[in-house]
Amino acid sequence: MRRLLSIICLNFKEATRDKIFAGVVFFFIFYLGFCILLGELSWGHSDKVLRNAGLVGIELTTILLIIFSFTLGFFRDKETRILEVYLSNVGRATYLTGKILAYVLIVFFYLFFSGMVYSLVLYFKDAFSPFALAALYPMFLKIVIVIGITSIFSCLLSSSTLALLSTIFVYVASELGASALKIVSMEKEPVRKAWLDLIYSFLPNMDKLDIKSLAVHNQIPSFEYFVWMTVYAGIYILFLWLINIFIFQRKEYY
Amino acid sequence: MSEHKIASIIRKQEWPCVSFVRGMIVFAACLYLIPQMSSLFREGLLINKQSVLFVPPVQYVKMMSGTFESFFADLFYIRGLLAMGDEIAETQEKVQWVQENFHTALELDPQLSEAYFFAGVVIAKDEASIKKGIVFLEKNSHLNPTQWRIPYWIGFNYYQLGNYLKAIEYYEKASKLPGARFFLKKIQPMLYYEAGESDLGIIYLESLLNSLNDEKEREAIQKKIEWLKGISSLEQSIAQFKARYGSLPSDLETLVRYGMIPGVPKDPFGRGYYLDQETGKVKSKLGPYPEDESEH
């Protein structure tokens, strides 16, 4: 347990001191200024636009942070042979679990602080709504799933560029999976529909883990929906973690 | 150290300095030229670009936006608002362009209800665009079937076109939806009056009176019934006068002089009825909207 905590701590420090983290934070602050401008431009629905643009910004910056920071950090560990040092002291499962948990922690703190800054902007613009903050919880679950996917590709592939691109493609596919299903169901081709149905079932259903469109209109799904969302995300994260451990245990890195 | 070597060192030391100065000169030249070029492009070297007023099909936008559908809706909403300020010579083309953006925004997020107002009412300035506004509002009303303001705006557009009976139809529809303002009910008799259907207005008001419990509201409606009844009875007498003598009376007192009415009824809103010779209609000196002018 102490070793796991050390790995978490080391990775957390490393990632938060990284220039990618600083870059993303700077970009987010810049983006908030852009949100205010968008709000000013949308007479009649300024509040909604401001809330929505802010949430979208938080989500996209967190995803960018996670994908780039995790992948590049993982490959840096490999290239600088720090990975060898780690693995000579801790088990492979402990190392990978620690790294994943460190990024979960980073996501938590990033969402917390960006949520606070976002709330302040909303408050000063008279657009604050606690419902908008409720949308941060499913966002957290969604991004933890993205961490799992990023970790799989980082462990599996030997090139950081390939790992980055693969993660982005899977993320986009999981975002648009529901739309792809709709398109295929319009065509009424049973084989293609069944095939896509299967893919959609295994891809993370990001459309189900999203309440942004409701929250910006001061609406919120039922408590039961939140419970189901949490259970679904929990099982999915466990599934990704197992795949991660399986790959990492077998892969030869040095 | 030989002189030759020292000279070479000095040259080497000078070199970065010369390079820096040259760099600065080039930098300053760029700093001067960039805004100059920019203004040249803006003013002198205009390429005759034809703007393409294209809005992607909404179903594609829906498919491609994933969980960011609402954000894309916002972007199209802003695009619609900005399009209202675009300089497009052809008014109908501009109306079409604005409406397509707002239509996409509404399809992606039906709760952007102000889009109806901008695309259906604000952009409509002449008869053709008012008609387009009505078509837009009717086409998109299914996205917000319980929003009372949409049939109200359709009614308002019909009112602007002078089609009072259609305006009444939509005001009636709006008045039955949740959250509808009471003026939608009160305004209808005035429109019946404008449409020359005062009797229908009285029937409507009498049915409205039965549904009201508030004493003040009942009093206001009774006053309006009395007002419309006065107009209705005077118009009937004018019609009889015209049938008998072949022309309109010069004023309402003529009817009294000819013994067709015992006296001009009292106008409950104050300054009395008069006969408009141009239209042959009885009007009130307070104008057509004694109570609802501000609300309308």
Q: Is residue B282 part of a domain?
A: yes
Q: Are residues B209 and B135 in the same domain?
A: no
Q: Is residue B99 part of a domain?
A: yes
Chain segment B116-175, per-residue pLDDT in tens: 999 998 888 888 899 999 999 999 999 999 999 999 999 889 988 888 888 888 988 898
Helix (H/G/I), strand (E/B), else coil: B273:
strand
Average pLDDT over residues B238-247: 87
From the list A58, A48, A42, A56, the residue with the least C-alpha distance to A122 is A48
Q: Are residues B176 and B64 in the same domain?
A: yes
Cα-to-chain-centroid distance, residue B216: 32
Q: How many CB atoms lie within 10 A of CB B211?
A: 9
Q: Tell me which of A102 and B271 has the higher pLDDT.
A: A102
Chain segment A36-91, per-residue pLDDT in tens: 998 888 888 899 999 999 999 999 999 999 999 999 999 998 888 888 888 888 88
Query: Which of B180, B214, B249 is the C-terminal boundary of a domain?
Result: B180
Q: Is residue B45 part of a domain?
A: no
Nearest Cα residue in chain A from B81: A42
Q: Is residue B48 part of a domain?
A: no
Interface residue ranges in chain B relative to chain A, Cβ cutoff 8 Å: 62-64, 66-71, 74, 77-78, 81-82, 109, 111-112, 114-115, 117-118
Q: Are residues B86 and B176 in the same domain?
A: yes
Average pLDDT over residues A160-188: 88
Q: Supply the pLDDT for residue B295.
A: 41
Chosen from B65, B71, B98, B112 to mutate, greatest number of chain A CBs within 10 A: B71
Q: Are residues B188 and B281 in the same domain?
A: yes
pLDDT of B239 strictly over 50: yes
Report the domain count for chain B.
3
Q: Tell me which of A203 and B295 has the higher pLDDT.
A: A203
Is residue B289 very low, low, confident or very high in pLDDT (cuts 50, 70, 90)?
A: very low
B-contacting residues of A 10-69, CB under 8 Å?
Answer: 38, 41-45, 48-49, 52-53, 56
Q: Supply the pLDDT for residue B29.
A: 93
Please check whether residue A248 is in contact with residue A92, taking contact to mean a CB–CB distance below 8 angstroms. Answer: yes
Q: Are residues B157 and B122 in the same domain?
A: yes
Q: Is residue B159 part of a domain?
A: yes
Please check whether residue A147 is in contact with residue A174, taking contact to mean a CB–CB distance below 8 angstroms. Answer: no
Q: Are residues B236 and B258 in the same domain?
A: yes
A41 to chain B: which residues are within 8 Å by CB? 78, 81-82
Q: In CATH, what number is assigned to the domain containing residue B155?
A: 1.25.40.10
Q: Are residues B170 and B264 in the same domain?
A: no
B77 to chain A: which residues are within 8 Å by CB? 42, 45, 49
Q: Are residues B188 and B122 in the same domain?
A: no
Q: Tell me which of A185 and A157 has the higher pLDDT.
A: A157
Task: Say yes or no for a CB contact (<8 Å) between A213 and B114.
Answer: no
Q: Are residues B149 and B214 in the same domain?
A: no
Please check whether residue A134 is in contact with residue A215, taking contact to mean a CB–CB distance below 8 angstroms. Answer: yes
Task: Say yes or no for a CB contact (<8 Å) between A217 and B77.
Answer: no
Q: Range of B30's domain?
A: 1-39
Mean pLDDT for chain A overall? 90
From the list B159, B162, B81, the residue with the least C-alpha distance to B123 is B81
Q: Is residue B44 part of a domain?
A: no
Pick from A24-33, A166-175, B224-233: least confident: B224-233
Q: Is residue B136 part of a domain?
A: yes
Helix (H/G/I), strand (E/B), else coil: B282:
strand
Q: Where are the domains of chain A?
A: 2-250
Q: Are residues B175 and B204 in the same domain?
A: no
pLDDT of A97 strictly over 80: yes
Q: Is residue B31 part of a domain?
A: yes
Q: Supply the pLDDT for residue B105.
A: 94
Q: Are residues B175 and B186 in the same domain?
A: no
Chain segment B37-79, per-residue pLDDT in tens: 888 777 766 666 566 778 888 888 888 888 899 999 999 999 9
Pick from A119-128, B114-123, B271-280: least confident: B271-280
Mean pLDDT for chain B overall? 82
Q: Are residues B173 and B210 in the same domain?
A: no
Q: How many CB atoms lie within 10 A of CB B231?
A: 21
